[in-house]
Chains A and B, each alone.
Chain A
Amino acid sequence: MHPWLLLALALPSLALDKTHGVPPSLVSKYVPSTRGSHQTWTCLDGSKEITWSAVNDDYCDCRDGSDEPGTSACPNNKFYCRNEGHIGAIIQSSRVNDGLCEQECCDGSDEPSGVCPNTCQEVGVEYRKKTEAERKLRKTGSKIRSSYIAYAHKEQKRLEALVADLAKEIETREKEVERLRDIAERAESLSAAELERKKQSPLYQSLLVHHTALKSLQKEHKKHLEREKALGDILTSLRADYNPNYQDMAVLEAVRGWEALAGLPHINDVRKGDDGEADTTADKPKTEDDVEDEGLWNAAKIEKELDQLLKTDHVTLLLEYDQLVGPASAQSLLLDISAYLPDALLPSYHSFRDSLLSALSVFGIGRGGTFDSSAESNRARVALSDAEHSLKLTQDEQRTANEDLLDLFDPEGFGPEGEWKKLDGMCLSKDTGEYTYEVCLFDEAKQIPNSGGSGFSLGKFSSWNKAAGPGELEYYTRQHYTQGAKCWNGPHRSVELVFTCGTENTLLTVVELEKCEYQITGTTPALCRPLEDEHTKDEL
């Protein structure tokens, strides 16, 4: 150790107060020790003993910088300005004596005296005004927030009641299912053998194959449609956003090819004037005409009716077929007589017919037991499946209600006080000129072009702010919407929604900081925690 050799020191010293820049908590440490005839001081980290005059002499002696609290001599130091009349502030030492008056130091102590005016009076007034305004905002906001919490409690009650009601309903429905199952099983045991025999018919077998083929075709078709849409989306966004910096004629060719295929005008012409788009809509229908001549289904019909067709219950059909056609002999006057009867007589005729037919069957004259028992079993089966479906719906409803109940006060769901429940599914939007951004809270964020068109999903709600813990205020200041539509040559679109406390639920700004990663800011009363919260926090 080689201590500084102290010799006749005649520095044109700044003569700073030794506690200049020292925060109140450390002021007590800035006192000299007496060592023989001179005064010394030890660096706060204890690494070195220096002369008392070396404190705040604008030269960095201590490794921890503690000897220069009031100058910029030591890097990474903190400087404390007292700001009397306002509140004290800490700034980085790189701001001290740099010729600029720091806003944080309204007392001007960051620069040599005389350089910066003391504005603490005005700043203090301004600050108090601002804090008061903020306090008011918080107060109003937190009132709205309490109404959200009240809503959540109401929701809780409603859901609890709902769950109880549903439980009862489920009980009833379960019994009903039991009863119907019993009937159906008995009816089926009678008709099963006969049905099996009929299923062997080549027509039925062929129908099954057709059914499978159609179903496969539909699946493939859907896959292709999806794929075509995906490719269309890629090409559409390529066309809209393609980046000439790639200087790639292949990209240009792709855009032109897509435009020709999709019957779109060249994007360049569209950008020149807006008349281009109108033309294309007029052109479009043409392409779909050709198909219809041979009575074939068009795309709309396929879309609408194919599913229905595929859901056909073939067993029922088989049975209905028998009912309709029967043996040739049954195509009798008796069965068709209703056509000749006046309407007024029909009901009585039907009851007469039914009793007659049952009598005939008893005597083995009619089409016999198979006919009746099959129809019976079929009806029973339909009734059972209807009842089962209703039961499932009710159970689902109950499960959802239960889940909602759990989410309601879950810190990772709608907040510990349920304050976010009110906003569930609420859609907020922001028009930025070219696009409108819409966020349906806890659901999905979208970008919709104002010029028309479908737009893109920017993602579905996935999480709160992961950088903070559930329950902390910070946690609820950010919502993440992820896995939106994929960008051409980029990631899946996503949104970071940044909320601050405000009296309204609204979106303020939208920026795309990185390609396809959006930051949306907004306000909501849900974030306005009551003022008392802060105080308790401060005390901790």
Chain B
Amino acid sequence: MRSPGALLLFLLLPAALAFKQSDFKICSQSGFCRRGRALAARAQESSSSWHSPYSIDPPELSPRQPGFTTSVHSSIHPNVKFVLDVMIHEEGIVRVRMDEENGLRKRYNEAAQWALIGEPPLSNDVLWTTKGGKAKAVYGPKKDMELVVDFNPLKITLFRGGKEQVTLNGRGLLHMEHFRTKEDPKLAEHIESEGQSVLQVNPAAWFEGDTQDAFWEETFSTWTDTKPKGPESLSLDITFPNHAHVYGIPQHATNLSLPSTTGPTAKYTDPFRLYNADVFEYLSDSPTSLYGSIPLMHAHSATSTVAVFNALASETWIDIAHVEKGGVETHWISESGILDVFLLPGPTPTDVFTQYAHLTGTAPLPAQWSLGYHQCRWNYVSSDDVRGVQNRFDDEDFPVDVFWLDIEYAEDHKYFMWNKKTFPDPVEMTKDVEAVERKMVVIVDPHLKRSNDYPVYKRASELGVLVKPKSGEGEYEGWCWPGSSSWIDFFHPGSWDFWISLFKTNTIDGQWSWTESTNNIGVWNDMNEPSVFNGPEITMPKDNVHYGGWEHRDVHNINGMLFANHTFQAAEARTDPPRRPFVLTRAFYAGSQRFGAMWTGDNLGTWEHMTIGVKMVLANGVGGMPFAGSDVGGFFGNPEPEMLVRWYVVGAFSPFFRAHAHIDTKRREPYLLEEPYKSLLRDILRLRYSMLPVWYTAFRETSESGVPILRPQYVMFPGDEAGFGIDDQYYIGSSGLLVKPVTQKGIKEVSVYIAEDQVYYDYFTNHAHRTKNRHITLPANLDQIPLLIRGGSIIPTRERPRRSSPLMKHDPFTLRIALDTSGNAHGEVYLDDGETYGYGRGDVVWRVFGAESTKGKGKGIGTVRISSADLAARTQVGAYDPKNEFARSVGDVRVEKLIVLGLGKKPLNVVLDGGRELEWEFASEGGVLVVKDPAVRVVDDWAIVVKLE
């Protein structure tokens, strides 16, 4: 027994463990943010008399060129030279770049290079004119796009149909702090002491302010940032004059439609911040930065969507103000880097997604198994523990595809190195998991234990590819899981082949590699913000030095993406031909979607975190990174069974579906719950598996178009203003499924918003809902999921419970045919082998299902013709051949059941087109027709005719 004093100490602990604001900066603690906000405040005060000090030389323009480069002058620093580059690219994307010319030092200019998939092609469809101090470009298929560049003061405005869409520097907040030499402090003191006699008049004070606020050295808590390059921040105002909603800039725990941070409508006092950070027990409603940063913002109105991609990698603060006229003013304040802004012209959300995808790429088609259920915990403690968990899943008949190992598998947290006391047989364990077509995902973090008996560290050290301290010499040493650690500098090209070599399962050239693994193991890249336990704001000092001499401050937000990027490449290179790797990352940046999935980090097991997790995943989709999810159950805490059941629904309707738990929590694998919760979880898992064809088909679409998998109202119905603020319900791909997960305690029913005059069917009861006041009320007891099928959709599912998703390969399909108000419907299913890149060669089955009605004599339907056609042949994927290898391997897969919703009356007969009559059953109360086993093959063209009259 312990003394009461000790008990008291424990009682006090939980409060001490929550989010610590003091660990992270607010704007007023960050010199450049303070300066940026002060600039905006001065502009606000001077109002009409305020003007930007920046102007440009009229460019030399020939009418058909895609853009121009010209000099920029600053009236407050006439001796400093800047250069502006304005280019119009295909699809009407405008790129604006500005840099200091021949400055004392060089601004970081490589952010876009890491984000983009290539140089965006220039437009050849532009007509420039120069008149009255402006250059104007007209372009676009309808010639309704106009880019107007005002020379003095510099202002750039994008118009569509004569209407202002985006304006840069319209409020005159553009400011690029030039490089300068540090004044001798003694000299400055001397001047000050001379007092009035040498009163320095700073002619720039009206704009820059009259103090040199944190120009050089800056201290936060116990850390001092030496800032050897001095001030180099960048301020830019971006205004969307006719758009009332802005979305994007993940990752923040906030509403999808971003609230104001400044002005009379402000919800928060601080700007949104983008600075990848490992935030312990983060708040569920806050503008603070989290693990990832995508500087992409959508602006939306009922008639137009545009977006801005601000390719910055340094710490960035974004003020947002919804203004009375119905527009949004934003102010972006970044610590370093050139100005490199892309304007995406829209005009619809879908267009913007595609335009952004053409710049930064899409999420590739993932390994199909990675859409199954992932079971994780910190930690499964031994190989036998893993086997035991797998056995329990099997005994209880819960489907699962992936078992995860967190950091404790690694001896002394030396990643790749198994702790042989607890994992004596890692390969055999992995093979035991793979025997049921499941996979293992193992964590590999970017910090390396500084120990010469760790071959990974030793080699990285020999190669000189570790991040350097501010001196630029030696190895930066920080504290993380293994204790004293160093970090691989993935900006260093010398690290790339080295990293690839580590993942080889066979030894090559005598170099150490992960021979104790299999080619199927997925990799979890955590802590890649990077998280440094004893660093400022739990990350690296900004004056650390990366390859090429760039400071960490310049590249911080990209750092985590490079880690996942090279892990993805390394995992892919394990086999020849390569197979689709699975990599999960916590930190991310624009372009990270190309390298795998993300999750919303270390959330809490609370209803608030469940709620915000849904919004964060939606926002990530807007940011072009759709393969996302939040940890089911919450990382911290012990969720009550009701919460856990609801959270599994959230997970089952997220692209990435993983349950995870902290080491201090009770075990909560789904089979451990009491009844009725246990059976509810089994049903939810089986529901997810039955819908894998829907998810996989949705992933195929996003891998091509960049349109997110989870689609909020504004994406689905861009003209319906009432839906713009809705972020607690969403559609899944183009499937027509609409879900509203319950994320509150004790809920009995929910109201789902419907934007259109269309029939929606309850997925489970088949009940047809016609909207009243644009809302459908659905029962939502704990065993009920508010899930609707939009009239006009055909949903392909596989309803047979299996242990893992690859085992469903030969299972038959069920088609839910939800007729719209005019008796028609369509849907798709996309299939391939799920693990190779054979799809690029046309090894696919991609079908479109249709239902077309003819009118009957009266008001109703006469006949419905349900058919299947080859969509791959229509769109010509690769060298597509309907009899390709994959199609042949699933030649035995049939459609076992049709469920036709919305017929209205009992059919006379159901006939396979050109053949026999089929068995069917009709329930008159719901009007649901079930056609029994038409025995048609999924790879074939077929038609089934339902005759009602």
Q: How far is the CA of A97 from the CA of B812 in the complex (A)?
A: 11
Residue numbers in A under 8 Å from B302 (CB-CB): none
B800 touches A247 (CB 8 A): no
A8 touches B800 (CB 8 A): no
A2 touches B923 (CB 8 A): yes
A511 touches B385 (CB 8 A): yes
Give 1 or 0 for each of A36-74: 1 = CB within 8 Å of chain B CB. Answer: 000000000000000000000111010000000000110
Q: Is A489 among interface residues, defined by CB-CB distance under 8 A?
A: yes
Q: In the assembled complex, how far is the CB of residue B474 from the closest CB belonging to chain A, in whole angstroms?
A: 19
Give 1 or 0 for each of A428-440: 1 = CB within 8 Å of chain B CB. Answer: 0000111000000
Residue numbers in A under 8 Å from B3 (CB-CB): 223, 226-227, 230
Q: Which of B908-932 contact A (CB under 8 A)?
A: 916-923, 932
Interface size class of chain A, counting residues whose CB lies under 8 Å from the partner chain: 35 or more
Q: Is A11 among interface residues, defined by CB-CB distance under 8 A?
A: yes
* Number of inter-chain CB pairs below 8 Å: 128
Give 1 or 0 for each of A305-340: 1 = CB within 8 Å of chain B CB. Answer: 000000000000000000000000000000000000
Using known A-B contacts A8-B916, A99-B807, A511-B384, determine if residue A271 contacts B897 with beta carbons closer than 8 Å: no
Interface size class of chain B, counting residues whose CB lies under 8 Å from the partner chain: 35 or more
Q: Is B803 among interface residues, defined by CB-CB distance under 8 A?
A: yes
**Which of the candidate stretches B511-519, B663-671, B839-847 sits at the interface with the other chain?**
B663-671
Q: In the assembled complex, how far is the CB of residue A482 from the closest CB belonging to chain B, in whole angstroms?
A: 13
Residue among A230, A433, A489 with the highest chain B CB neighbour number at 10 A: A230
Chain A residue nearest in CB terms to B527: A245
B933 touches A57 (CB 8 A): yes
A515 touches B664 (CB 8 A): yes
Q: In the assembled complex, how far is the CB of residue B598 from the closest CB belonging to chain A, in whole angstroms?
A: 19
Q: Which of B538, B918, B923 contacts A247 (CB 8 A)?
A: B538
Residue numbers in B under 8 Å from A512 (CB-CB): 381
Q: Is A362 among interface residues, defined by CB-CB distance under 8 A?
A: no
Residue numbers in B under 8 Å from A11 (CB-CB): 933, 935
Q: Which of A220-275 contact B (CB under 8 A)?
A: 223, 226-227, 230-231, 234, 243-250, 252, 268, 271
Q: How far is the CA of A5 from the CA of B911 in the complex (A)?
A: 12
Q: In the assembled complex, how far is the CB of residue B400 from the closest CB belonging to chain A, in whole angstroms?
A: 12
Q: Is A34 among interface residues, defined by CB-CB distance under 8 A?
A: no
A94 touches B810 (CB 8 A): no
Q: Is B17 among interface residues, defined by CB-CB distance under 8 A?
A: yes
Q: Which of A5, A94, A99, A247 contacts B809 (CB 8 A)?
A: A99
B800 touches A72 (CB 8 A): yes
B384 touches A100 (CB 8 A): no
B397 touches A92 (CB 8 A): yes
Q: Is A513 among interface residues, defined by CB-CB distance under 8 A?
A: yes
Chain A residue nearest in CB terms to B5: A227
Residue numbers in A under 8 Å from B436 (CB-CB): 100
Chain B residue nearest in CB terms to A98: B807
A59 touches B932 (CB 8 A): yes
Q: How far is the CA of A6 from the CA of B9 in the complex (A)?
A: 75
Residue among B3, B421, B799, B918 with the highest chain A CB neighbour number at 10 A: B3
B916 touches A7 (CB 8 A): yes
Residue among B384, B397, B664 with the highest chain A CB neighbour number at 10 A: B664
Q: How far is the CA of A2 from the CA of B921 in the complex (A)?
A: 6
A515 touches B663 (CB 8 A): yes
Q: Is B50 among interface residues, defined by CB-CB distance under 8 A?
A: no
B280 touches A245 (CB 8 A): yes
**Which of the candidate stretches B63-71, B477-485, B651-659, B774-782 sits at the interface with the other chain?**
B477-485
B667 touches A247 (CB 8 A): no
Q: Is B20 among interface residues, defined by CB-CB distance under 8 A?
A: yes
Q: Is B718 among interface residues, defined by CB-CB distance under 8 A?
A: no
Q: Is B2 among interface residues, defined by CB-CB distance under 8 A?
A: yes
Using known A-B contacts A59-B932, A97-B810, A271-B483, determine if residue A227 contacts B6 with beta carbons closer than 8 Å: yes
B397 touches A59 (CB 8 A): no
Q: Is B372 among interface residues, defined by CB-CB distance under 8 A?
A: no
Residue numbers in B under 8 Å from A12 (CB-CB): 935
A247 touches B921 (CB 8 A): no
Chain B residue nearest in CB terms to A521: B384
Q: Is A514 among interface residues, defined by CB-CB distance under 8 A?
A: yes
Residue numbers in B under 8 Å from A485 (CB-CB): 2
Q: Is A215 among interface residues, defined by CB-CB distance under 8 A?
A: no
Q: Is A205 among interface residues, defined by CB-CB distance under 8 A?
A: no
B802 touches A94 (CB 8 A): yes
Taking A59-B897, A73-B896, A489-B13 as given, write out 16 further A-B residue pairs in contact, using a Cβ cutoff of 8 Å, ordered by the A residue number: A2-B922, A57-B933, A59-B933, A92-B397, A223-B3, A244-B480, A244-B533, A246-B280, A248-B20, A433-B421, A434-B421, A486-B6, A486-B10, A489-B664, A511-B382, A511-B385
List, sorted by A's number, 30 A–B pairs whose CB atoms are closer than 8 Å.
A2-B921, A4-B919, A5-B919, A10-B916, A58-B896, A61-B932, A72-B811, A73-B896, A75-B799, A97-B810, A98-B808, A99-B807, A223-B3, A227-B6, A231-B6, A243-B663, A245-B280, A248-B16, A268-B483, A433-B421, A485-B2, A486-B2, A486-B6, A489-B17, A511-B381, A511-B382, A511-B385, A513-B385, A513-B667, A514-B666
